[in-house]
Amino acid sequence: MLQIGEAVPEFCLPNQDEEEICFRDIKGRWIVLYFYPKDNTPGCTVEACEFTRALPDFSELNAMIIGVSPDSPASHRKFIDKKELRLTLLSDEKKSLCSAFGVWQLKKFMGKENMGVVRSTFIINPDGVVAHMWESVKVKNHVAEVKAKLQELRG
């Protein structure tokens, strides 16, 4: 897993509108990059809705929020439309960014093992370095924790 103090690798992925978003184009401001398993599932929906509600607070901190999952751009578009989200969601169908951040891992569920996204959040500073991270995120109160940590990091 990418650790605090490590540089974020370059990446380019399509968003929900199939527009390519590259790290080089968004670097230079604070970024909350959160990885989640699947669109339209209970925990992922709560997390996305809470980040959407908190967008004004993050904007005041000059931070952008970006979600990443292995779902397709079309799936992201349906998720955004259905839940009235105002987030950028990146499609990592090849799991390249998930792998680079170390969140694509072997998971156990109901006695079965399979590969999947471990819900994780990274705060990236304007220099493109991981400033803070959470692994195996529990959705409840998470957005508030991220906002508080971002305020602390910004001084």
The catalytic site residues sit at 44
Phi (first) and psi of residue 118, to 5 degrees: -85, 120
The 10 Å Cβ neighbour count of residue 37 is 17
CA–CA dist 92, 72 (Å, integer): 8
- Six-digit token pair at 89? 């969601």
How would you classify the pairing of strands 104-109 and 112-117?
antiparallel
